[in-house]
Amino acid sequence: MAGHSKWSQIKRKKGANDVRRSGIISKHIRAITTAVRSGGSGDPAGNLSLKNAIAAAKTDTVPVDNIENAIKRAVGEGSSATVFDEVVYEGYGPGGTALLIETLTDNRNRTVGEIRSVMNKRGGNLGNAGSVAWQFDQKGIVVVSSAEETVQDAAIELGAEDIQETEDGLEIYTAPTELFLVSEGLSGQKFPVVSASLTMIASSTVDLNDEDARKLLVLLEYLEDLDDVQRVTSNANLSEVMEEV
């Protein structure tokens, strides 16, 4: 899971100084709004999708006021409000890497057109449904801002499947059904849980040469800059790649 960990760290560092900060916030507001509507509740205690969306927003330091206002608006929305569909696109990047592109869209033709344009310009291409999805599994990921051995021991006792150390602490991987058991267990023991969410992880990774690795990082960044794209996951091993692209 090192490739996933590396891309997560790169995104966090880029996000800290990203001049397109409003775009990042907008993506999270869209995800929160969709979670409220799909889960039928503005209470994260009873809406796991909303709880995930809020956790992800907080990871990117979206202001609490923005989060609360998004929930209030979503709860009060009428039937005429914009409805976003969750659509996953599949494709290939430099070096034959597999890509899953998760989107929230109110216009599928626009979204697929924008994704195809970026892919064609940056060394990728779209695939058919099912072409690469089989290479990924859904996992829970708990981010903790501490790498102390006591945290790792507690996570293992709670049911963690894998643990990766990062520059900022730990990424703890779980079965999807065990995500909140592990997250809440760690929080209950006063460990600094930053976020808990579901994500897609490649079942195996591929190594790239330096040129293809840098091309892939550029492609990932351009894709995630699209308004409709929420997250892009690849099966590339980026653990040895420099963070400058």
CB 183 within 8 A of CB 193: yes
Per-residue confidence at 6, pLDDT binned at 50, 70, 90?
low
Side-by-side strand order, sheet with 162-166: 162-166, 169-174, 136-144, 193-202
What mean pLDDT is reported for the chain? 85
Of the candidates 121, 159, 118, 114, the residue with the CA atom closest to the CA atom of residue 140: 159
Is residue 7 scored above 70 in pLDDT? Answer: no
Domain boundary among 49, 76, 103: 76
For residues 208 and 125, membership in a common domain is answered with yes
Q: What pLDDT score does 226 carry?
A: 92
Query: 242 lies in a domain?
Result: no
Q: What counts of helices (H) and strands (E) characterise the chain? A: 8, 8
Residue 75 predicted with pLDDT over 70: yes
For residue 112, the domain's CATH number is: 3.30.70.980
Domain membership of residue 208 (yes or no) is yes
Q: What is the extent of the structural domain holding 25?
A: 2-76
Question: In terms of Cα–Cα distance, which of 37, 81, 35 is closest to 197?
Answer: 35
> CA–CA distance from 245 to each of 17, 66, 81, 118 (Å)?
15, 31, 39, 17
Asked if 153 and 119 sit in the same domain, the reply is: no
Cβ contact 89:83 at 8 Å: no
Same domain, 71 and 10: yes
Q: How many domains does the chain have?
A: 3
Q: Tens digit of pLDDT for each residue in 34-69? A: 888 888 888 888 887 888 788 778 877 888 999 998
pLDDT tens column, 137-152: 999 999 899 999 999 9
